[in-house]
Every structure is written in C-alpha cells, then in structure tokens.
C-alpha cells in the first residue's frame, strides 16, 4: 500500500512550449509536470516516475497515433491518456475513445479552461481506477471461510500486480509478510518441501547476484522451477519480476555508461525470461537511438577527418600563393581564396589557423606599402581582405584612416592644379573652347571634386560673370546667336537670374528691331519725291520685247536710295541696267518709326512695255 502514498506526476509528450506551460498552470501542485520532447524521453520518464496521467500531443508522435496509444496502453494499462490534436487525428482514435482506452481528446487550439477540466477529470479517473479494479463483495449467505479465501486471493493478486506495475525491488519475503493475518485462519495446506527449497535457493542466488548464471543454479532458473511446481506462487512470480528488474536496471546503468554491448546482452537476458515486459521494448528503443547516435558520431568523425585532409591541401596551395605574392589575385588562384576554403572545412585546425595569420600579416604589410606608394585604393582593398580574415580591428581602422588621409591629400593637390588651370583659361578668354582644356572644363572638375568648397564657389561666380560679359558684348555686336549661347552658359553656371533676365529682354528687343529693319515694304507704300523713268533699251524696242525687273533697295533716313540690287528679271539680261540706273535716282519721304526717321528696305517691280 505504500505506492498509494506517492503523488504521481503528469507526463506530457509535446514540443509545444505553450501547451506545457498551460498544463503546469492548471495542474494541482501535488502532481509534478514532466515534459518529454520525444518518444524515447517519454519511455524514460514512464520508467522513472510511473506517471498516472499522460498527455500526448499528436504533433510530437512520429508513429501513427492509434498504434502508439494502443502500444502504450498495452505496456502501461493503468495510465489515463489525454490526446491533443486535430479533428482528423480524433477520427483515427474513435474506437479507443469509445472503449475508454483514450480518456479524453483535446482539440487544438487549446483553451486553458478546457485543459484544466480534462486534467482534473483525468486525475479523478486515475484515483478511481484501483477501486474499479477491486473484486466485488461476496454475496450474502456465503460461508465466512469462502469470503476469507477469496480475500486472500485478491490480496495476493494485488501484491503481484503492484510488483509488476511499479517494478519494486522488494524481496519475496516482504511480499509474504504483506499478507493479512486472517490468512492464518484458513485451513493449512500441505507444505511442499521441494518448492520451499527451490524458493530458498533462488532467494540466496538473488541476494548473491547470480541472476542468470551459473546454469540451473541462478535465480532465474530456480524461480522458473518453482513456478513449474506452483504457477500461482507469488514468491516465485515476484522473484522472477525482481530478476528481470535487476537485469534491466543493470542495462540502464550500462546505457548511462554508453556500454551498448553490455546493455544489449542484459536486455536479451531479461527478454528471454519475460519477452512481454514493457521495459524491454523501451530499453531496446533507447539502445537503438544510442546506436544511431554512435553511427552518426562515427560518420561525423570520418567527415571531419576528410575535411581536415582537404583543408591541409588548401593550406599548401595558400602557402605557394604567398610565396608567389598572389595575395588576393588572380581571382581563382590566390592565397585568400585557398585560406577561405581551408577555413570553411576545418576552422580549428592548427595549420589552417597558422596560414590564416601568415596571410593577414602579409596583407597588412602590403597595405602599408601601398600607402607609402600613395595608392589609397590598393591599401583599402588589402586592408578589407585582412579584416575579413579576422585582422585586428584597430590595425585595420588605422590602415583605412591612413588611406583616407592619403586620398584627401591627393584630392587637395588635384584641386589646386585644376584651380590654376581654370584661372589661366579664364584670363586667356578660353571660356568654353577647347572642350577639354577650357575654363568651363576645369570648373566642372572642381565642382565634381568639392562643390561645397568656398574656393570652388568663387571660381564658379567668376566664370558666371565672364559669360554674362560675353553675352553683353555679343548683343552689342548684333550677334544674336552668340548672345543666346552665352546666356545659356550663364544659366548653367548659376549666374545672377536678374542679370540674365535683363539681357534676355534686351536680346528680344534687338531681334524685333532687326526683324523690322530687315523686312521689305512695297515701294508703293512710300511717298516718292523724285522720279526718273527707266530708259527703254533700243534693241528691245526694235524687237518688240517687253518685260520686268524686281529690285530691292534701302530708303535712308534722308529719303535717298542705296544698296539697290536686282532679285529677278524677265527676260533676264535685257532690262536690268536701265532699271538700276533709274531707281538709284529716285527719292522718297523718309520712313518714320517711333517719331524718328528710320531706314527701310523696299521692294519694287519696274515694268517695260512697248508704247503703241
């Protein structure tokens, strides 16, 4: 009865931390909650703690859930099972839920209230199980002796069941002492001297540790012989159970020592005595798992050995590249490539670590040489490679700072040269030409290098002022195309917008004036003050030839005619001289624009007709 005083734990097979935490929160503190992440862990906990309630999370069970629960109940029939899973998994357990093998099915997602109700009901069920398994009371009218005899048999059966279920190590004497005193009142059976002798010798062999050897003199053989004489003798049954329990306990100890061969032998001896013992299957599974881990470990060791061998080959290639000075190039055959390959295979191998240090030292040395040679880009490249291989961060930082200072100095020198070239071209008037050797070109280089530098801004303003001057000069020269070009340069250079706007307005006005000045008026729109008729050529008159001549000329501010030119004639080469001679002598009232006399270009057609 001492087993009833031990508070059994709740064991949960699940990898769901939320479910485990929920179970711990709802379980009575008198019952511990022991989580198992795998079926092997579950078996170990069941053997160690003899749990009364087990919660199985289907997600953590590799085997079909119905098969797993059936096997578990066959090995541990007193367990109260709660299974957690989906509706489909519940359907697989329908038969076991119906017959009570699975006490409750908990649907996902889990609610704390439902988990609490199921766990409390399971503990009540577990507490009632021994009472339901007890034999019913004898019916009234039966003799007292029969009742007492039945009670003895029930009690003996309970003792055997307790020994079988909990795996106790109590000797057979304790089992005999547990029988109630009322047994003495039953009629005494005839003593079996041979049976008693076998049991005595078996107990001595058990105490001496002679569990399965020597033959015929070991505890297992002697208890089996006792059972052949009395198959119901609880001492023989308990003794057999103790032999098996000690063999399996020894097997567990060998497993802890990772002595798989000895553990396997002890399990085989226990299996030969009781093939259906639940701990045999569980320990066999543990041995299988350890064997798998051992095989995996050996495979890993072989792989590591092979990796180290390949890593050493890369070390050899890396050192050869170091001797040739091929630190980071060519791309596929340099020291860095080979060292990185060796590190990927065996980072802790001493030769790999040593060649890595050698390469880092060379990279740092070459980076310093690059700085001394004013090659900042090369220094950065080498220091970056050293950093990737684990160089001292402080040293790498120092190399990068030196390279940056070198780069800044080189930039300052380049800017100074550009500034000198810009000033020269600006003074020479080479503002935009030639394209790659002009003030504009050198200003663009300065802006690219350091646009925010005050000195650069001064150069920019000087250039903008000069192009505005060029635009003004072109406008005065009536070179409108050049004026537009210079105004575009001024806009691109960021010249003053007001000045640009003023020049653009002046350009537009000048262009309008020029257009009007260059437009042609019909001669008939002017007032002629002096007219000389053209002379009809005699040759043309004699031949009866008629025709016309188109002329253009300028009427000046004094009304005189200048710049007379012929723009067309019909027939050509006949009337042109007579027309020019007459037009040059014509006079007009001067054209007026804006209250002032202005020059104006005029067109006229002079006709020649034979008078009848």
Chain segment 316-342, per-residue pLDDT in tens: 999 999 999 999 999 888 999 999 999
Q: Are 523 and 603 in contact (CB under 8 A)?
A: yes
In-domain check, residue 387: no
Q: Give 109's pLDDT tier (boundaries 50, 70, 90).
A: confident
Query: Rounded distance, CA 173 to CA 10, Å?
Result: 33
* Structure tokens that stand for 147 in this block: 């009742």
pLDDT for the residue numbered 83: 95
146 pLDDT exceeds 50? no
* Burial of 122: CB neighbours in 10 Å, binned 0-12, 13-18, 19+: buried
Task: Check whether residue 159 and residue 269 sit in a common domain.
Answer: yes
Would you call 121 helix, strand, or coil by DSSP? helix
Q: Are 566 and 591 in contact (CB under 8 A)?
A: no
Q: Give 183's pLDDT tier (boundaries 50, 70, 90).
A: very low
Secondary element (H or E) of residue 36 = strand 33-36
415 pLDDT exceeds 70? yes
Give the pLDDT mean for 424-452. Answer: 91
Task: Check whether residue 186 and residue 256 sit in a common domain.
Answer: yes
Mind listing the pLDDT tens digit for each residue in 212-231? 999 889 999 999 999 999 98
Query: Rounded distance, CA 471 to CA 486, Å?
Result: 5
* Structure tokens that stand for 58 in this block: 């289907």
Secondary element (H or E) of residue 33 = strand 33-36
Task: Check whether residue 472 and residue 432 sit in a common domain.
Answer: yes
Q: Are 248 and 267 in contact (CB under 8 A)?
A: yes
In-domain check, residue 72: yes
In-domain check, residue 304: no
Would you call 391 helix, strand, or coil by DSSP? coil
| 25-29, 402-406, 523-527, 570-574: range with lowest mean pLDDT | 25-29
416-446 in b/e burial notation, b at 16+ Cβ within 10 A?
Answer: eebbebbeebbeeebbbeeeeebbbbbbebb
Give the pLDDT mean for 422-445. Answer: 92
Task: Check whether residue 424 and residue 512 sit in a common domain.
Answer: yes
Query: Rounded distance, CA 182 to CA 435, Å?
Result: 126
Q: What is the DSSP letter of 294?
A: H
Find the CATH number of the domain harbouring 63. 3.40.50.2300
Q: How many CB atoms lie within 10 A of CB 27?
A: 21
| 10-19, 46-55, 599-608: range with lowest mean pLDDT | 46-55
pLDDT for the residue numbered 612: 67
- pLDDT exceeding 90 applies to what percent of the chain? 58
pLDDT for the residue numbered 161: 36
- What pTM, to 2 d.p., does this model score? 0.36
Give the pLDDT mean for 144-157. Answer: 33
pLDDT for the residue numbered 175: 37
In-domain check, residue 386: no
Task: Check whether residue 112 and residue 166 sit in a common domain.
Answer: no
Query: Rounded distance, CA 247 to CA 120, Å?
Result: 37
| 145-149, 266-270, 494-498, 602-606: range with lowest mean pLDDT | 145-149
Task: Check whether residue 439 and residue 493 sit in a common domain.
Answer: yes
* Burial of 453: CB neighbours in 10 Å, binned 0-12, 13-18, 19+: middle
* Structure tokens that stand for 315 in this block: 């070390």
pLDDT for the residue numbered 564: 95
446 pLDDT exceeds 70? yes
Q: Which of 146-155, 412-421, 557-566 has the highest mean pLDDT?
A: 557-566
487 pLDDT exceeds 60? yes
Task: Check whether residue 212 and residue 118 sit in a common domain.
Answer: no
**Mean pLDDT of the chain, nearest integer:** 85
Q: Bridge-partner residues for 450, per DSSP? A: none
Q: Bridge-partner residues for 13, per DSSP? A: 36, 56
Residue by residue, DSSP assigns 137-153 as: PPPTT--HHHHHHHHHH
459 pLDDT exceeds 70? yes
Residue by residue, DSSP assigns 157-207 as: HHHHHHHHHH-----HHHHHHTS-GGGGGSPPPPP-HHHHHHHHHHHHHHH
Task: Check whether residue 511 and residue 535 sit in a common domain.
Answer: no
Of 114, 133, 152, the one marking the end of a domain is 133
In-domain check, residue 321: no
| 172-176, 183-187, 268-272, 330-334: range with lowest mean pLDDT | 172-176
Residue with the bigger pLDDT between 588 and 285: it is 588
Mind listing the pLDDT tens digit for each residue in 127-144? 876 655 544 443 333 333
Secondary element (H or E) of residue 53 = strand 53-57
Give the pLDDT mean for 281-298. Answer: 78
501 pLDDT exceeds 70? yes
pLDDT for the residue numbered 336: 95
Counting DSSP H helices and E strands in the chain, the numbers are: 23, 13
Q: Give 149's pLDDT tier (boundaries 50, 70, 90).
A: very low
pLDDT for the residue numbered 535: 95
160 pLDDT exceeds 90? no
Backbone angles phi, psi at 93, to 5 degrees: -105, 15
447 pLDDT exceeds 60? yes
In-domain check, residue 228: yes
Residue by residue, DSSP assigns 513-533 as: HHHHHHSEEEGGGS-EEE--P
Q: Give 41's pLDDT tier (boundaries 50, 70, 90).
A: confident
512 pLDDT exceeds 80? no
* Structure tokens that stand for 154 in this block: 């029930």
In-domain check, residue 365: no
Alpha helices (H) along 477-556? 480-492, 497-518, 538-543
Nearest Cα neighbor of 339 from 301, 326, 381, 305 is 326
Task: Check whether residue 429 and residue 550 sit in a common domain.
Answer: no
pLDDT for the residue numbered 130: 60
Nearest Cα neighbor of 418 from 393, 439, 388 is 439
Q: Give 145's pLDDT tier (boundaries 50, 70, 90).
A: very low
Task: Check whether residue 566 and residue 506 sit in a common domain.
Answer: no
Q: Give 76's pLDDT tier (boundaries 50, 70, 90).
A: confident
Q: Are 545 and 578 in contact (CB under 8 A)?
A: no
Report in angstroms the alpha-carbon separations of 431 from 351, 422, 443, 499: 65, 9, 10, 19
pLDDT for the residue numbered 178: 38
Task: Check whether residue 148 and residue 86 sit in a common domain.
Answer: no
Of 459, 483, 517, the one marking the end of a domain is 517
Torsion over CA: 383, 385, 387, 392 (sign) = negative
Give the pLDDT mean for 494-508. Answer: 92
Task: Check whether residue 525 and residue 509 sit in a common domain.
Answer: no
Q: How many CB atoms lie within 10 A of CB 336?
A: 21
Secondary element (H or E) of residue 88 = helix 87-92
In-domain check, residue 348: no
pLDDT for the residue numbered 131: 55
Q: Give 594's pLDDT tier (boundaries 50, 70, 90).
A: confident
pLDDT for the residue numbered 6: 58
Residue 167 Rama label (left phi>0; alpha psi -120 to 50; beta): left
598 pLDDT exceeds 50? yes
Of 88, 107, 133, the one marking the end of a domain is 133
182 pLDDT exceeds 60? no
Backbone angles phi, psi at 217, to 5 degrees: -120, 10
- pLDDT exceeding 70 applies to what percent of the chain? 87
Q: Give 121's pLDDT tier (boundaries 50, 70, 90).
A: confident
Q: How many CB atoms lie within 10 A of CB 603?
A: 14
My answer on whether omega of the bond before 460 falls inside 30° of 0, hence cis, is no
Give the pLDDT mean for 434-446. Answer: 93
Residue with the bigger pLDDT between 34 and 585: it is 585
Q: Give how many domains the chain has, as a whole number.
A: 4
Domain enclosing residue 500, as ranges: 411-517
């Amino acid at each position: 009865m001492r087993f009833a005083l031990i508070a059994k734990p709740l064991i949960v097979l699940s990898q769901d931390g939320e479910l485990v935490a929920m179970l711990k929160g709802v379980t009575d503190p008198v019952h511990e909650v022991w989580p198992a992440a795998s079926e092997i862990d579950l078996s170990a906990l069941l053997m160690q703690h003899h749990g009364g309630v087990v919660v199985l999370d289907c997600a953590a069970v590799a085997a079909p859930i119905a098969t797993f629960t059936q096997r578990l109940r066959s090995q541990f029939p007193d367990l109260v099972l709660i299974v957690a899973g989906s509706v489909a998994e519940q359907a697989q357990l329908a038969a076991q839920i119906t017959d009570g093998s699975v006490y409750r099915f908990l649907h996902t997602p889990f609610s704390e209230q439902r988990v609490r109700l199921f766990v409390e009901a399971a503990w009540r069920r577990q507490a009632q199980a021994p009472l339901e398994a007890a034999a019913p009371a004898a019916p009234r009218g039966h003799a007292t002796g029969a009742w007492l005899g039945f009670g003895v048999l029930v009690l003996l059966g309970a003792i055997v069941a307790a020994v079988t279920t909990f795996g106790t190590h109590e000797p057979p004497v304790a089992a005999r002492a547990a029988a109630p005193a009322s047994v003495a009142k039953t009629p005494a059976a005839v003593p079996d001297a041979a049976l008693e002798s076998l049991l005595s010798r078996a107990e001595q062999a058990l105490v001496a540790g002679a569990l399965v050897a020597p033959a015929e003199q070991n505890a297992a053989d002697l208890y089996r012989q006792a059972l052949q004489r009395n198959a119901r003798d609880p001492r023989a049954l308990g003794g057999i159970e103790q032999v098996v329990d000690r063999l399996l306990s020894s097997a567990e100890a060998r497993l802890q020592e990772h002595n798989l061969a000895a553990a396997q032998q002890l399990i085989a001896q226990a299996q030969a005595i009781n093939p259906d013992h639940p701990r045999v299957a569980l320990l066999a599974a543990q041995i299988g798992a350890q064997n798998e881990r051992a095989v995996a470990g050996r495979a890993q060791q072989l792989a590591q050995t092979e990796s180290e061998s390949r890593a050493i080959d890369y070390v050899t290639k890396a050192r050869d590249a170091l001797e040739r000075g091929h630190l980071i190039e060519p791309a596929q055959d340099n020291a860095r490539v080979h060292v990185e390959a060796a590190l990927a295979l065996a980072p802790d191998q001493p030769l790999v670590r040593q060649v890595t240090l050698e390469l880092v030292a060379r990279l740092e040395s070459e980076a310093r040489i690059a700085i001394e040679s004013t090659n900042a880009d090369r220094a950065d490249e080498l220091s970056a490679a050293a950093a990737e291989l684990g160089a001292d961060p402080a040293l790498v930082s120092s190399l990068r700072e030196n390279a940056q200072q070198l780069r800044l100095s080189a930039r300052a020198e380049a800017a100074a040269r550009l500034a000198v070239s810009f000033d020269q071209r600006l003074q020479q008037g080479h503002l935009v030409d030639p394209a790659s050797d002009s003030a504009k070109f050198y200003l663009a280089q300065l802006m690219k290098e350091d646009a925010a530098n005050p000195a650069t801004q001064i150069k920019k303003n000087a250039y903008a002022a000069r192009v505005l001057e060029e635009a003004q000069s072109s406008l005065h020269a009536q070179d409108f195309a050049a004026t537009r070009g210079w105004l575009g340069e001024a806009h691109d250079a960021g010249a003053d917008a007001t000045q640009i706007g003023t020049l653009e307005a002046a350009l537009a006005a000048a262009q309008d004036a020029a257009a009007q000045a260059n437009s042609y008026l019909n001669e008939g729109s002017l007032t002629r003050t002096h007219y000389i008729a053209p002379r009809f050529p005699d040759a043309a008159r004699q031949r009866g030839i008629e025709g016309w001549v188109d002329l253009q000329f300028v009427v000046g501010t004094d009304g005189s005619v200048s710049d007379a030119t012929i723009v067309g004639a019909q027939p050509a080469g006949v009337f042109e001289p007579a027309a020019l001679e007459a037009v040059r002598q014509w006079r007009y009232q001067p054209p007026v624009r804006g209250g002032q006399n202005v020059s104006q270009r005029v067109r006229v057609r002079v006709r020649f007709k034979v008078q009848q």
